[in-house]
């Protein structure tokens, strides 16, 4: 496997004097693009499986969102110009010369996208508030040929690398869980004025964590300024209550800090996302494949969402790295922190990466955990031909 298990240099992030962590919620324009690309890949993959017996070549990992225009005001508002979402990529559009085997890509790109968006964004009218478009063409002959060569043990679609780390620090966990809870059905029932576009930035300095939360507030659920202020206080209380269950450090919470309420400057939205009024989005600009943006950790710029789940290592190796990292810290409690790096070579079997580096922080010799790390890595890499099944079930987080 070209595997190296090495001792990490320096301190893990939890022991550094400062730490910064960010998460963009599901209603952020970048997250919408990630979700649109991944949902299209899943829809295409299922269609290929049902009609042709296997997932065919596709990479629909490019998507851009152009923000619309709105007039949000206390108690109501309207969309003046719709959001524009453009899905871009490559996909098998027809098998052979039989017209009956043409793949209805447009149906999935437009129809399926609007279906899931209607469920995720209850204040967004998918008929009038957003235009969904696509430009998806067949893939190049060399990449399609590479994809088709070895269905049993697929060949890497790219020379790329995936990275992961474990476990989350308390700051990372708090940032992640705060957005997740604020966007949960439980929270929306408790406070329906909270929209889906929620961004959380956590900054820890020594033993104090500052959470800055940008939360889109639904204008139709907020009749006056007092109601708006109450929603902000509710968000703060929710975050502090959650923090008390995650960490013993001091936590300060700040909500919508750009507000100047006396001048009517408030983060109000008609739809629950800033995409309605000038904020744009793009695949790969948001959360990494573990759901966070972590500048104090190893990261890859690969956008995992939308890449084909069989051979594109820009997607699968990020997930494989995380499986290795999570399993190692679970099986070896003495491991304080682990980072995993996996790099491919295009055309080589996905089970045979160019290299794997498992980098470990721990007291004592890493030789005491080396055999465990090697066994876990071997097991995960041998399972790579089956990893696509987990993507079909939305088992792995990608953004």
Q: What is the pLDDT of residues 270-306, one digit of tens each?
A: 999 999 998 999 999 999 999 999 999 999 999 999 9
- Contact (Cβ atoms closer than 8 angstroms) between residue 193 and residue 217: yes
Which residue in 192, 94, 178, 199 sits closest to 136, CA to CA?
94
Q: What percent of the chain has pLDDT over 70?
A: 97
Q: How confident is the model at residue 144 (pLDDT cuts 50, 70, 90)?
A: low
pTM reported for the whole predicted model? 0.94
CATH of domain 170-281: 3.30.300.340
Which of the following CATH numbers is that of domain 3-14+159-168+285-392: 3.30.300.280, 2.20.28.10, 3.90.25.10, 3.90.79.10? 3.30.300.280
What value does the mean pLDDT of the chain take?
95
Burial of 282 from C-beta contacts in 10 A (0-12 / 13-18 / 19+): middle
- Is the predicted pLDDT of residue 6 greater than 60, yes or no? yes
What local confidence, expressed as pLDDT, does residue 74 receive?
Answer: 97
What local confidence, expressed as pLDDT, does residue 147 receive?
Answer: 63
d(CA 195, CA 216): 5
Worst-scoring range by mean pLDDT, 141-155, 261-275, 341-355, 359-373?
141-155
What does each C-alpha distance from 42 to 112, 156, 188, 206 come to in angstroms?
10, 19, 27, 42
What local confidence, expressed as pLDDT, does residue 148 receive?
Answer: 67
Beta bridge partners of 377: none
Q: What is the pLDDT of residues 214-257, one digit of tens each?
A: 999 999 999 999 999 999 999 999 999 999 999 999 999 999 99
Q: What is the pLDDT of residues 379-392, one digit of tens each?
A: 999 999 999 999 99
**What is the per-residue DSSP string for 233-277?**
HHHHHHHHHHHHHH-SSEEEEEE-TT-BGGGTB--EESSSSGGGG
What local confidence, expressed as pLDDT, does residue 159 receive?
Answer: 95
Q: What is the pLDDT of residues 57-73, one digit of tens each?
A: 999 999 999 999 999 99
d(CA 277, CA 244): 35
What local confidence, expressed as pLDDT, does residue 140 receive?
Answer: 62
Q: Span 12-36, mean pLDDT? A: 97
What local confidence, expressed as pLDDT, does residue 97 receive?
Answer: 76
Domain range list for the chain: 3-14+159-168+285-392, 29-149, 170-281
Q: What is the pLDDT of residues 76-119, one digit of tens each?
A: 999 999 999 999 999 999 887 777 789 999 999 999 999 999 99
3-14+159-168+285-392 and 29-149 share one CATH topology?
Answer: yes
- Is the predicted pLDDT of residue 127 greater than 80, yes or no? yes
What local confidence, expressed as pLDDT, does residue 243 receive?
Answer: 98
- Is the predicted pLDDT of residue 150 greater than 70, yes or no? no
Print burial letters for 245-279: b (CB count within 10 Å at least 16), e (below 16). ebbeeebebebbeebeeeeeebbbbbbbbbbbbeb
CATH of domain 29-149: 3.30.300.10
- Contact (Cβ atoms closer than 8 angstroms) between residue 178 and residue 24: no
What local confidence, expressed as pLDDT, does residue 99 receive?
Answer: 74
Q: How confident is the model at residue 143 (pLDDT cuts 50, 70, 90)?
A: low
Q: Span 18-45, mean pLDDT? A: 98
Worst-scoring range by mean pLDDT, 18-22, 100-104, 123-127, 319-323?
100-104
Q: How confident is the model at residue 139 (pLDDT cuts 50, 70, 90)?
A: confident
């Amino acid at each position: 496997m070209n595997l190296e298990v090495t001792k990490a240099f320096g301190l893990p992030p939890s022991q550094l004097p400062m730490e910064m962590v960010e998460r963009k919620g599901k209603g952020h324009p970048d997250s919408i693009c990630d979700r649109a690309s991944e949902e299209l890949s899943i829809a295409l993959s299922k269609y290929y499986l049902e009609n042709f017996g296997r997932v065919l070549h596709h990479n629909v990992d490019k998507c851009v969102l152009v923000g619309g225009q709105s007039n949000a005001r206390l108690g109501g508002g309207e969309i003046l110009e719709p959001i524009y979402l453009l899905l871009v990529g490559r996909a098998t559009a027809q098998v052979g010369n039989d017209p009956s085997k043409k793949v209805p890509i447009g149906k999935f790109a437009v129809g399926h996208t609007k279906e899931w968006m209607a469920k995720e964004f209850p204040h967004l009218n998918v008929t009038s508030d957003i235009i969904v478009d696509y430009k998806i063409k067949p893939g190049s002959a060399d990449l399609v040929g590479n994809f088709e060569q070895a269905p049993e043990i697929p060949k890497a679609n790219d020379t790329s690398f995936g990275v992961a780390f474990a476990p989350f620090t308390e700051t990372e966990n708090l940032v992640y869980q705060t957005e997740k809870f604020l966007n949960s059905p439980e929270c929306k029932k408790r406070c329906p004025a909270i929209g889906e576009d929620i961004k959380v930035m956590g900054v820890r300095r020594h033993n104090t964590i500052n959470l800055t939360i940008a939360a889109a507030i639904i204008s139709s659920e907020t009749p006056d300024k007092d109601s708006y202020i109450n929603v902000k206080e509710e968000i703060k209380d929710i975050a502090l209550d959650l923090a008390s269950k995650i960490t013993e450090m001091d936590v300060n919470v700040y909500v919508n800090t750009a507000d100047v309420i006396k001048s009517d400057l408030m983060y109000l939205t008609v739809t629950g996302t800033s995409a309605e009024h000038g904020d744009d989005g793009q695949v790969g600009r948001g959360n990494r494949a573990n759901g966070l943006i972590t500048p104090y950790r190893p990261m890859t710029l690969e956008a995992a969402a939308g890449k084909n789940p069989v051979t594109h290592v820009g997607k699968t190796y990020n997930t494989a790295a995380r499986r290795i990292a999570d399993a190692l810290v679970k099986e070896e409690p003495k491991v304080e922190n682990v980072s995993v790096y996996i790099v491919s070579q295009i055309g080589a079997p996905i089970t045979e990466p160019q290299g794997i580096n498992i980098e470990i922080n721990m007291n004592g010799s890493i030789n005491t955990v080396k055999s465990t790390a090697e066994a876990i890595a071997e097991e995960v890499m041998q399972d790579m031909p089956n990893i696509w099944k987990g993507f079909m079930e939305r088992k792995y987080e990608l953004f």
